[in-house]
Structure 1
C-alpha cells in the first residue's frame, strides 16, 4: 500500500506540470483552433534559458545560488513573454484565417528554431543545476519504507496549482473570461456584440505562452536539466490530451492532463518503463477516436 502511495505522490508533480501546460494550451487554442507545435518549444526553451541564465549569473556575475536561480527565472519568463507576444502578432494572427496546415508548418519551424537557439547558446553542452530543496517530506511510513515528496516537488506543485486555480477562477468570474467564452463559441457573433476579439485573442495566447514558460522553469528546477528535444515530447503529449478533452474548458483540460501524469507514474511503478510512452500515446489515440471529431470553428483573428 505504501508503494502505491509513493507512486501516486511521484505522479502528483508530473500531474502539476502537465496540468499547467494543458491549461495554457487550451486557453490559447480554444480561440486559435489550430495545432500549435511551438507550444512545447516555448516550454523547453524557457527551461533551458533559465538554466543558461542561472549558469551565467553564477559564473560571470558571481551571484549567490538563490540569486542566480531568481535571475534565471526572471530571464526565462521574460523570454517566454516575448516569444509568445511575437508568435501571437507575427505568426498566429496573419495565418489564423488560412489553411490549418499553414500554422502547423509555421509552428513546427518555430519549435525547431527555438531548439536550435537553445543548442547553439549552450554550445551543444548539457548544463545541470545542483540539487535544490531535495529534503524529503514524509507522508506515511511503515517498516523500512516511507512515502515522501521533496520540498521542491511540493513548491512546484503548489505553484502550478495556484496558477491553474487562479486562471480558472478568472475565466469563470471576470469580463475577460466571459469574452473568452464568447469568442471561443462564435467569434463573429462576439464581434457583433462589441467584443474586441483581437484583443482577447492576443491576451489568451500570451497567457498560454507564459503558462508554458512557467512549466518549463518548474521542470528545469526539479530535473536540473531539460534536453533539447523535450519540447517535442511534451508538446505532443499536451496536444493529444487537450484534443481529447476539448479546447473550451481549460480547467477540465488541466484535470485530464493531471490524471494522465498520475497514470504515467503508476505505469512506471508497475510495468516496464520503456513501454510507458507507447501505451500512453496509444491510450490517448484511442480516446481521441472515441470522442469523435471536434467542431472546426473559425478563428477570431480571421
Structure 2
C-alpha cells in the first residue's frame, strides 16, 4: 500500500506538468482550431533556455545560485513571450484560414527550428543544474518503506494548482475570459458583437506560451536537464489527451492530463518502463477512437 501511495504522489508531480501544458494547449487551440505541433517544443525550448542562461550566469557572470536561477527563469518567460508573438503574427494569423494541414506543417517546421536552436546553442552538449530543494518530506513510513516527496515537487504541484485555478477563474469571470469563449465558439459573431478577435487571438497564444514556460521552468528545475527531443513527446501526449477530452474547456483538459500523469506513474512503478510510452500512447489512441465514435453516434441520432 505504501508503494502504491508513492507512485500516486509521483504521479501528482508528472500530472502537474501535463495539466499546465493541457490548459495552455486548449487555450491556444480554442481560438486557432488547428493542430499545433510547436506547443510541446516550446515547453522544452523554454526549459533549455533556463538551463543555458543559468549556466551562463554561473560560469561567466559569477552570480550566486539563487541569482542565476532567477535570471534563467526571467529569460525563459521572456523567450516564451517572444516565441508566442512571432508565432501568432507570422505563422498562425497568415495560415489560420488556410487548409488545416498548412498549420500542421508550419508548426512542425517551427518545432524543428526550436529544437535545433537549443541544440546549437548548447553545442550538442547536456548541461545540468544542481539538485534544488531536494530535501525529502515524509508522508508515511510503513514496513521499512518511506513515502516521500521532495520540497521542489511540492512547490511545483502547488504552483501548477494555483496557476490553473487562477487561469480557470479568469476564463470564467473576467471580461477577457468571456471574450475568449465567444471567439472560441464563433469568431464571426464575436466580431459583430464588437470583440477584437485578433487581440483575443494574440493574448490566447501568449497565455498558452506562458503556461508552457511555467511547465518548462518547473521541469528544468526539477530534472536538472531537458533533452532536445522531449518537447515533441510531451506535445504529442498533450495533443492526444486534449483530443480525447475537451478542446473547449481548458480546466477539464487539465484535469484529464493530471489523471494521465498519475496513470503514467503507476505504469512506471509496476510495469517495464521501456514500454510505458508505447502502451500509454496506445491507450490514448483507443480512448480517442472510443470518445469520437460515441460523439459521432450521438450526433447521428439527433
SS in structure 1 at match of 2:141: strand
Give 1:117's aligned residue. 117
Q: CA deviation at 1:150?
A: 0.1
Q: Deviations over 1:141-163 (max 9, x none)?
A: 11311100000101111111111
Q: Does 1:102 align with 2:126?
A: no
Give 1:66's aligned residue. 66
Give 1:291's aligned residue. 291
Q: Deviations over 1:228-270 (max 9, x none)?
A: 0011100100110111112110000000000000000001111
Give 1:47's aligned residue. 47
Give 1:133's aligned residue. 133
Give 1:300's aligned residue. none
CA RMSD across the alignment: 1.1
Q: CA deviation at 1:73?
A: 0.5
Give 1:57's aligned residue. 57
Q: CA deviation at 1:197?
A: 1.0
Partners of 1:277 and 1:143 lie apart in 2 by 31
Partners of 2:30 and 2:247 lie apart in 1 by 4
Partners of 1:111 and 1:90 lie apart in 2 by 15
Partners of 2:238 and 2:6 lie apart in 1 by 24
Give 1:264's aligned residue. 264
Q: CA deviation at 1:290?
A: 1.2
Give 1:298's aligned residue. none
The residue correspondences of 1:73-88 to structure 2 (distance < 5 A) are: 73-88=73-88
Q: CA deviation at 1:10?
A: 0.6
SS in structure 1 at match of 2:247: coil
The residue correspondences of 1:214-229 to structure 2 (distance < 5 A) are: 214-229=214-229
Give 2:274's aligned residue. 274
Partners of 1:51 and 1:268 lie apart in 2 by 27
SS in structure 2 at match of 1:253: helix
Q: Does 1:246 align with 2:262?
A: no
SS in structure 2 at match of 1:292: helix
Q: CA deviation at 1:134?
A: 0.5
Query: With structure 2 as the length reference, what TM-score do the two structures score?
Result: 0.96
Q: CA deviation at 1:279?
A: 1.0
Partners of 2:86 and 2:28 lie apart in 1 by 14
SS in structure 2 at match of 1:146: strand
SS in structure 2 at match of 1:97: coil
Q: Deviations over 1:67-120 (max 9, x none)?
A: 100000000110001001110111001100000110111100101000000000
Q: Any stretches of 5+ residues in structure 2 without a counterpart?
A: 297-302
Partners of 2:64 and 2:104 lie apart in 1 by 42
Q: CA deviation at 1:55?
A: 0.2
Partners of 2:252 and 2:102 lie apart in 1 by 28
Q: How many residues align?
A: 295
Give 1:23's aligned residue. 23
Which consecutive aligned stretches of 4+ in structure 1 deviate over 6 angstroms post-superposition? none
